[in-house]
């Protein structure tokens, strides 16, 4: 969180080289010597840049932070880092240095590929405060600093870094270096009021991975596979002749065994290291980052060994707060993929993707993912800072930009899921952390947005005109128009606005603004009525007969009781009709499984979650995905890329399905802000036999574990001090005893589950009956798939009379293994 500073920062100026930076220019190196006297108590360096800064003292890096200061809306807020460097100083001569590259502020950013969004050259801000026993001495960045060049020949966020080790001036950040060939720094005017201290947690290296394989591609390229799509870069250790250049080009995917660069669009994602030529040289880039699993290595002197390369995982250093494991390895992997996509996209700003020429703080993506993010990590720092940027940009421009920081050349119209993040995110954070200050700080921005949309409503109360992203990336939308899905865009907008108004009314109550609360409640009633008049038949059927439309109407409480039951049934029907593949986009995906389980179709929700045909939640997992893809069908079953231009392989938005996994498989839901009161109600299904959820709430750790062993169920929960929980024991034989109130502590229950009188399937069961039981059919078709080169089909009328044994007898090359596996599957169904 930003703390306003009592330190006087007004004396320090931003300093730069004399001339503006052109594309591909070297980074700026800054330095100056200074003297430390006896009696030093403490030394604090405050530093930031318009660009990316790597500060040095006496020849060593000042900190482990990387990509400092991260990306904020620099016109309003520039994050200042503060380091205690007392131990790095000596009495006598010392030197301060900094390398500053273009970063987000100066370099090419945004899909419009423009430069100089915030400044025309990299510039440094530094203030060193030396506190002595009897006085304080301050050294500020000013024209006494010298500026030159070094090994960092160029560095762009999208294109990568070029480093020529031969050109690093030896000892440049040590005292006494001869900087006479360097120039005096030029002072830049930047308002010190923009400087904010500790805006968000720093970006750091959080993990390292070794290659799982070094591959020679069909065309002869040398490629290291790190086995996991990450965000960061590769560190190399190399020995070789001076002047030899090693080129690393990063990719998320191999197609036909070769690196696939299409997911990067125009980003070059290439680092180059030129050897100085003596000893073992260790290098990693400092001024760029890449989204990748593979790196194509060119120019390596000698044979490349796995130990020569290390992939470095980089993101905002947040505290992990949420975990979920299940007995199904595919579901556990899906959840793991969500975590990796969050890690890959919380690099200062919550971004859409980390690899292509975008990496922008798209509001809709974050809005869809926010409840999942707040479960997995403590996001108060990153998202609290980002919300301040959202509010600052909104106040300046009069609208909530579609992505923040906003570098677009065109204004953003108010849209559902994107612009209303300004209400939805503070509400999610308030709910997670129970801190009403989050609402108070954001209230002006929240009400400005809602008032703006209110003025756009048509006389009946519909948000019925203007651009909308709709159910973005509905798999059925045409490839050329991701917003052109099945669900009417203004249905999405109006439904979403009802939810937003409800959040506003509740937030106003929490803040003690009773009048505002009543006003928003009233408006909610008007918009809800307009929605029902326009889009809902008396029966509960919706005019957009799509899963997303029903999910919205159910989750946002837009229907009366009978209509809701009808809508639930219709939704379950549509989900089954699409073969349990995904038919929802950014809007519907976070809601669809909740809508099913809320209307009594939890089994359907499990079938949807566990489907493996393309496009489905588990399809990418079966294809070896290690992150969440922008589209579930980004890579086709034959391994080729779905060339729509929207195929990032690391996009967290659709990972929002994990919220349902936490609530329904893990069983945790907050009933009050900050989990003072919670509901623990796991609902086993989908063939799962156990699950384990852990969540570190602001009150302490919640732990929920359940296991089904034969006919017995064990549920163990831990509730933190000061909290209470309503526990609903799954499948409990005694409905009166199924609901229990518990206080803090660990509680465990073991009970016998009534054995279901389930129909037994045999070789004499007709295919049609088997196909009617989706889970059974999936298991059996899986067995056939393993043994036969063609699929089996039960869609024709003959399936009513063809039994499994009849089908088997008609297969000429059936093997005993096929029969054995079928028999085993039948027993286990
Ligand atoms: C981004 C999305 C984003 C969308 C909206 C895309 O290019 O990657 O995730 O929300 O644009 O237009």
Atom of ligand 1 nearest to the CA of 651: 9
- The C-alpha atoms of residue 165 and residue 153 are separated, in whole angstroms, by 10
- Supply the pTM of this predicted model: 0.94
What letter does residue 663 receive in the DSSP assignment? I
Tell whether the model's pLDDT for residue 772 goes beyond 80. Answer: no
Lowest mean pLDDT of 102-116, 251-265, 777-791, name the range.
Answer: 777-791
pLDDT digits (tens, 9 = 90+) for 550-588: 999 999 999 999 999 999 999 999 999 999 999 999 999
Q: What does the pLDDT average to over 622-633?
A: 97
If pLDDT is split at 50, 70 and 90, which confidence band does 791 have?
Answer: low
Residue 477 and residue 498 in contact, taking contact as beta carbons nearer than 8 Å: no
Ligand 1 centroid distance, CA of 364 (Å): 8
Residue 185 and residue 295 in contact, taking contact as beta carbons nearer than 8 Å: no
Smallest CA separation from ligand 1 atom 12, residue: 469
Ligand 1 centroid distance, CA of 216 (Å): 35
pLDDT of residue 644: 84
- The C-alpha atoms of residue 194 and residue 192 are separated, in whole angstroms, by 5
Q: What does the pLDDT average to over 429-455?
A: 98
- C-alpha torsion sign, points 284, 285, 290, 296: negative
Smallest CA separation from ligand 1 atom 9, residue: 352
Ligand 1 centroid distance, CA of 507 (Å): 29
- C-alpha torsion sign, points 109, 115, 119, 125: positive
Q: Which residues line ligand 1 (CB under 6 A)?
A: 352-353, 358, 362, 364-365, 469, 653
Chain position carrying tokens 């779905």: 642
pLDDT digits (tens, 9 = 90+) for 1-40: 333 345 778 777 999 999 999 999 999 999 999 999 999 9
Tell whether the model's pLDDT for residue 735 goes beyond 90. Answer: no
Joined together, the tokens standing for residue 765 give 């069961």
Residue 715 and residue 706 in contact, taking contact as beta carbons nearer than 8 Å: yes
Spell out a b/e string for 508-527, using b for 16 or more CB atoms within 10 Å of the CB, else e.
Answer: beebebeebbebbbebbebb
Atom of ligand 1 nearest to the CA of 365: 10
Q: Which residues are catalytic?
A: 358, 630
Percent with pLDDT over 90 in the chain? 88
pLDDT of residue 785: 76
- The C-alpha atoms of residue 427 and residue 436 are separated, in whole angstroms, by 9
Q: Best substitution site from 109, 355, 364 to test ligand 1's pocket, by max atoms within 8 Å of Cβ? A: 364
Q: What does the pLDDT average to over 185-208?
A: 93
pLDDT of residue 580: 95
pLDDT of residue 775: 75
Who has greater pLDDT, 368 or 775? 368
H or E, element range at 816: helix 816-828
Smallest CA separation from ligand 1 atom 4, residue: 362
Joined together, the tokens standing for residue 196 give 């904010």
pLDDT of residue 3: 37
Q: Best substitution site from 265, 356, 415, 472 to test ligand 1's pocket, by max atoms within 8 Å of Cβ? A: 472
Residue 510 and residue 402 in contact, taking contact as beta carbons nearer than 8 Å: no
DSSP three-state, residue 765: coil
Beta strand 40-50 with 186-188 is: unpaired
Residue 321 and residue 696 in contact, taking contact as beta carbons nearer than 8 Å: yes
Lowest mean pLDDT of 187-201, 261-275, 390-404, name the range.
Answer: 187-201
pLDDT of residue 496: 98
pLDDT digits (tens, 9 = 90+) for 524-544: 999 999 999 999 999 999 999
Tell whether the model's pLDDT for residue 622 goes beyond 50. Answer: yes
If pLDDT is split at 50, 70 and 90, which confidence band does 643 have?
Answer: confident
pLDDT of residue 175: 98
Question: Mean pLDDT of all residues in the chain?
Answer: 95
Lowest mean pLDDT of 406-415, 424-433, 485-494, 771-780, name the range.
Answer: 771-780
If pLDDT is split at 50, 70 and 90, which confidence band does 710 have?
Answer: confident
Q: What does the pLDDT average to over 653-658?
A: 98
Joined together, the tokens standing for residue 126 give 């530094």
What letter does residue 664 receive in the DSSP assignment? I
Residue 625 and residue 642 in contact, taking contact as beta carbons nearer than 8 Å: no
pLDDT of residue 4: 39
- The C-alpha atoms of residue 633 and residue 329 are separated, in whole angstroms, by 21
Q: In 3D, which of 100, 85, 2 has the Cα closest to residue 51?
A: 100
Ligand 1 centroid distance, CA of 597 (Å): 29
Q: What does the pLDDT average to over 637-653?
A: 92
pLDDT of residue 5: 44
Joined together, the tokens standing for residue 487 give 């669900």
Chain position carrying tokens 């940009």: 393
Smallest CA separation from ligand 1 atom 11, residue: 362
Chain position carrying tokens 């989750």: 555
Atom of ligand 1 nearest to the CA of 356: 8
Q: What does the pLDDT average to over 168-184?
A: 98
Chain position carrying tokens 């556990």: 332
If pLDDT is split at 50, 70 and 90, which confidence band does 796 have?
Answer: low
Tell whether the model's pLDDT for residue 823 goes beyond 80. Answer: yes
Q: In 3D, which of 241, 232, 218, 214 has the Cα closest to residue 299?
A: 241
pLDDT of residue 66: 98
Q: In 3D, which of 337, 335, 341, 340 has the Cα closest to residue 323?
A: 335
Ligand 1 centroid distance, CA of 352 (Å): 7
pLDDT digits (tens, 9 = 90+) for 457-496: 999 999 999 999 999 999 999 989 999 999 999 999 999 9
Ligand 1 centroid distance, CA of 652 (Å): 11
pLDDT of residue 1: 34
């Amino acid at each position: 969180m930003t703390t306003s500073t009592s330190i006087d920062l007004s004396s320090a100026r931003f300093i730069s080289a004399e001339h503006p930076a052109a594309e591909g220019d070297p980074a700026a190196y800054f330095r100056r010597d200074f003297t430390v006297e006896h009696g030093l108590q403490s030394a604090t360096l405050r530093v930031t840049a318009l660009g990316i800064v790597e500060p040095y003292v006496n020849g060593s890096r000042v900190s482990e932070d990387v990509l400092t200061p991260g990306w904020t809306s620099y016109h309003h807020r520039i994050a200042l880092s503060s380091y205690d460097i007392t131990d790095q100083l000596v009495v006598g001569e010392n030197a301060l240095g900094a390398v500053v590259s273009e970063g987000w502020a100066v370099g090419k950013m945004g899909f419009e590929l423009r430069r100089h969004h915030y400044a025309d050259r990299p510039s440094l801000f530094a203030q060193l405060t030396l506190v002595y026993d009897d006085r304080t001495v301050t050294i500020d960045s000013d024209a006494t600093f010298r500026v030159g060049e070094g090994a960092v020949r160029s560095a762009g966020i999208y294109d990568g870094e070029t480093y020529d080790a031969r050109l690093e001036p030896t000892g440049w950040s040590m005292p006494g270096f001869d900087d006479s060939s360097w120039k005096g720094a030029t002072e830049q005017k930047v308002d010190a009021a923009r400087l904010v201290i500790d805006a968000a947690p720093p970006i750091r290296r959080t993990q390292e991975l070794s290659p799982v394989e070094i591959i020679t591609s069909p065309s002869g390229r040398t490629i290291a596979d790190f086995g996991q799509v990450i965000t960061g870069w590769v560190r190399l250790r190399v020995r070789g002749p001076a002047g030899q250049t090693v080129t690393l080009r990063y990719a998320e995917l191999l197609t036909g065994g070769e690196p696939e660069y299409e997911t990067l669009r125009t980003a070059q994602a290439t680092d180059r290291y030129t050897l100085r030529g003596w000893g073992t040289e260790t290098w990693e880039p400092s001024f760029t980052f890449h989204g990748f699993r593979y790196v194509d290595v060119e120019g390596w002197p000698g044979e490349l060994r796995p130990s020569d390369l290390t992939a470095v995982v980089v993101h905002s250093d947040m505290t992990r707060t949420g975990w979920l494991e299940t007995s199904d390895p595919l579901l556990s992997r899906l959840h793991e993929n969500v975590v990796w996509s969050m890690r890959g996209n919380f690099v200062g700003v919550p971004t859409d993707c980390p690899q292509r020429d975008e990496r922008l703080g798209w509001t809709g993506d974050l809005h869809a993912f926010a409840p999942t993010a707040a479960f997995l990590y403590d996001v108060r720092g990153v998202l609290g800072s980002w919300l301040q940027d959202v509010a600052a940009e909104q106040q300046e421009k009069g609208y909530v930009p579609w992505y923040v920081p906003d570098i677009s050349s065109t204004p953003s119209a108010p849209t559902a899921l994107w612009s209303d993040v300004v209400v939805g995110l503070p509400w999610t954070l308030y709910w997670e952390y129970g801190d009403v200050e989050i609402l108070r700080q954001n209230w002006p921005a929240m009400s400005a947005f809602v008032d703006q949309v209110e003025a756009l409503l048509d006389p009946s109360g519909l948000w019925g005109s203007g651009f909308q992203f709709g159910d973005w990336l509905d798999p059925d939308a045409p490839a050329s128009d991701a917003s052109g899905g099945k669900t009417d865009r203004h249905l999405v907008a109006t439904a979403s606005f009802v939810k937003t108004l409800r959040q506003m009314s509740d937030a106003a109550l929490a803040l003690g603004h009773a009048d505002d609360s009543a006003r928003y409640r009233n408006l909610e009633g008007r918009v809800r009525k307009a929605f029902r008049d326009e889009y809902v038949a008396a029966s509960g059927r919706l005019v957009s007969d799509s899963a997303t439309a029903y999910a919205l109407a159910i989750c946002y409480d837009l229907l009366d009781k009978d209509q809701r039951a009808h809508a639930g049934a219709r939704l379950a029907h549509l989900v089954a009709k699409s073969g349990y593949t995904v038919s929802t986009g950014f809007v519907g995906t976070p809601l669809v499984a909740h809508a099913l389980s809320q209307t009594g179709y939890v089994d359907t929700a499990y079938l949807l979650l566990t489907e493996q045909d393309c496009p489905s939640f588990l399809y990418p997992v079966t294809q070896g995905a290690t992150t969440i893809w922008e589209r579930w069908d980004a890579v086709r079953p034959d391994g080729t890329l779905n060339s729509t231009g929207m195929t990032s392989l690391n996009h967290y938005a659709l990972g929002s399905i994990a919220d349902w996994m936490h609530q329904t498989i893990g069983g945790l839901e907050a009933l009050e802000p900050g989990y003072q009161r919670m509901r623990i109600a796991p609902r086993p299904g989908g063939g799962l036999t156990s699950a384990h959820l852990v969540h570190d709430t602001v009150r302490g750790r919640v732990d929920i574990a359940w296991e089904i062993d034969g006919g017995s169920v064990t549920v163990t929960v831990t509730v933190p001090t000061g909290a209470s929980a309503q526990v609903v024991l799954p499948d409990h034989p005694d409905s009166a005893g199924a609901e229990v109130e518990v206080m803090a502590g660990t509680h465990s229950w073991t009970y016998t589950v009534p054995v279901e009188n389930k129909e037994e399937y045999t070789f004499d069961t007709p295919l049609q009956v088997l196909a009617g039981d989706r889970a059974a059919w999936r298991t059996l078709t899986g067995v056939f798939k393993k043994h036969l080169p063609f699929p089996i089909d039960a869609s024709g009328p003959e399936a009513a009379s063809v039994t499994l044994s009849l089908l088997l007898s008609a297969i000429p090359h059936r093997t005993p293994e096929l029969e054995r596996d079928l028999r085993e599957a039948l027993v286990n169904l």
